[in-house]
Amino acid sequence: MGELFVRTQRQANGRTIVANSYFSNPLKIAKSFYHEDGYTEVMTLLAGPGMLKGDRYNISFEMGENTRTLITAQSYQKLYNSTDGETVQKVAIQVGENAELCYMPQPAIPFTNNTFRSNMEIKLALSAKFIFTDILACGREGMGERLKFARYSSRVCVNVDGKPVFLDHTRLFTGQADFFGLGFYEGRVCQGLIYLYGYDNITLPVYDGVEAAISQAGGGHVVRLLSESPDAAHQFSRLLWESVRTPKTGRTSA
């Protein structure tokens, strides 16, 4: 079982730092990157090829008050063959008062016969700002593994000030429907969900190979997208975050 915990806090000079962290193999984090726009980037690492049969990850992030954090991943999340078993991931996120968090992991790529189950619990303060992405590829398209995984389940629950505002559960069982037909992938190879809370005047970017639509959901907004590639979906998500994030208001010293 791999475990990862990160807690951030704001220093007197305005910089967001990782105040506390621990992890066990194969999960790790890299040294923080401090961006000119005031965000601190925490990159998660995986000391291995991907999630194997029986792997279970427990991941927790606690963002302190007034912090500004971008959480990314080093590489795509590869979900290997787990015949007669499964791979499981649990993510718990807390975002404090006036804190901003962008949680943008890389897309997930399920291999043939993989069974994956993910559960994400998000708790936001009323004044927090939050955006995250959940992008799923159809498999290793270059290896001819389009929708060859066994089962994919991703549950997301968002609570604001102790009250549930958004619940989404994506469940796909291959072999039971035409996922490339109308209402599913519609000929694309990637689908995605982006959830935003605390942002107004959202305008979706234009990116080749990506079709997206936005709707309100509780106290936030939800973007659903279809894409011709996982990379295009990820880049679209990055552009969206860059368009809505709060601009830097002052210089942060080193």
Strands in 15-162 per DSSP E? 16-23, 27-29, 33-34, 40-46, 56-63, 68-73, 77-79, 87-95, 100-104, 108-110, 115-124, 129-137, 151-160
Give the predicted TM-score (pTM) of the model: 0.91
Q: Which residue has the tokens 């991907």?
A: 50
Burial of 13 (0-12, 13-18, 19+ CB in 10 A): exposed
* Three-state SS at 135: strand
105 prior amide bond cis, ω within 30: no
Name the residue among 161, 171, 181, 164 with its Cα closest to residue 217: 164
Average pLDDT over residues 207-211: 94
Q: Which residues contact 235 (CB under 8 A, 6 or more apart)?
A: 207
Q: In terms of residues, how long is the chain?
A: 254
| Residue 203: burial class (beta carbons within 10 Å; 0-12, 13-18, 19+) | exposed
Residue 233 has pLDDT above 60, yes or no: yes
Q: What is the pLDDT of residues 116-156, one digit of tens each?
A: 999 999 999 999 999 999 999 988 877 878 888 899 999 99
CA–CA separation, 197 and 96 (whole Å): 13
pLDDT tier at 248, thresholds 50, 70, 90: low
Is-contact 191 68, C-beta < 8 A? no
Distance in angstroms (rounded) separating the CA atoms of residues 68 and 62: 12
Band of the pLDDT at 37, cuts 50, 70, 90?
A: confident
